[in-house]
């Protein structure tokens, strides 16, 4: 081979693989990916009836949910979640930004950086809120008789594409 040319017959071939998601001790990623395979995002341009659309149980999170890919989006992934009366999600954190819009019901979210020094965000239908990336948070339905629903819009597709997507559950026992 002469200098400055490329020998295309003898170039190495690199195997293409999906980048594995990072794992932590309390990772929720395996359960989430398994659930997502069984319940792929609904592809649409518009979603109507967020208060009544059918949702699928997401037992690992103590909610029902439906994920969407709207307009072929490659960065943002919305999902609609429902908490049962008096219910609570698991305490968790994620590497995606999230903006949460309350579709129906009322409740509160507890947020914390360390699990000890927490703050409470009270919310009701038609409210919208957010919190910093990687902050612990847990959602609570304050009604004993009605479900509540929230629409979370996250940059999941983008964060996943660059290999930084992670969801971690809060440790059961803090020392």
**Helix boundaries (H) for 10-129:** 29-38
- Whether 107 is covered by a domain: the verdict is yes
63-121 pLDDT per residue, tens: 999 999 999 999 999 999 999 999 999 999 999 999 999 999 999 999 998 888 899 99
For residues 152 and 79, what is the distance between their CA atoms, to the nearest angstrom?
5
- Whether 48 is covered by a domain: the verdict is yes
- Is pLDDT of 152 > 80? yes
For residues 167 and 74, what is the distance between their CA atoms, to the nearest angstrom?
19
- Is pLDDT of 173 > 90? no
- What CATH number has the domain bearing residue 87? 2.60.120.10
39-70 burial, b at 16+ Cβ within 10 Å, e below that, comes to eebeeeeeeeeeeeeebeebeebbbbbbbbbb
- Whether 133 is covered by a domain: the verdict is yes
Q: How many domains does the chain have?
A: 1
Q: Considering the entire predicted model, what is its pTM?
A: 0.82
**DSSP tag of 161:** H
- Whether 13 is covered by a domain: the verdict is no
Question: Are 21 and 31 in contact, with CB atoms under 8 Å apart?
Answer: no
CA torsion angle for 140, 143, 149, 154 (degrees, to 10)?
-20
CB-based contacts of 32, cutoff 8 Å, min separation 6: 60, 167
- Whether 12 is covered by a domain: the verdict is no
- Whether 6 is covered by a domain: the verdict is no
12-67 pLDDT per residue, tens: 544 443 434 445 567 888 888 899 999 999 999 999 999 999 999 999 999 999 99
SS3 category, 27? strand
- What is the span of the domain harbouring residue 97? 23-169
- Whether 81 is covered by a domain: the verdict is yes
Per-residue pLDDT at 10: 56
- Whether 1 is covered by a domain: the verdict is no
**Nearest Cα residue to 94 out of 173, 172, 175, 24:** 24
């Amino acid at each position: 081979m002469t200098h400055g040319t490329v020998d295309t017959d003898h170039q190495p071939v690199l195997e293409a693989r999906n980048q594995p998601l990072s794992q932590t001790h309390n990772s929720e990623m395996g359960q989430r990916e398994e659930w997502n395979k069984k319940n792929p995002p609904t592809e649409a341009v518009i979603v109507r009836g967020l208060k009544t659309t059918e949702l699928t149980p997401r037992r690992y999170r103590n909610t029902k949910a439906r994920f969407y890919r709207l307009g072929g989006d490659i960065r943002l992934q919305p999902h609609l979640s429902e908490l049962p009366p008096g219910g609570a999600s698991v305490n968790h954190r994620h590497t995606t930004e999230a903006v949460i819009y309350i579709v129906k019901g009322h409740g509160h979210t507890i947020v914390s950086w360390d699990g000890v020094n927490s703050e409470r965000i009270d919310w009701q239908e038609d409210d919208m809120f957010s919190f910093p990336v990687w902050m612990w948070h847990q959602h609570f339905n304050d009604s004993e008789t009605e479900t509540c629903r929230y629409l979370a819009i996250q940059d999941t597709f983008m964060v996943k594409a660059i290999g930084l997507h992670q969801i971690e559950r809060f440790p059961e026992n803090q020392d």
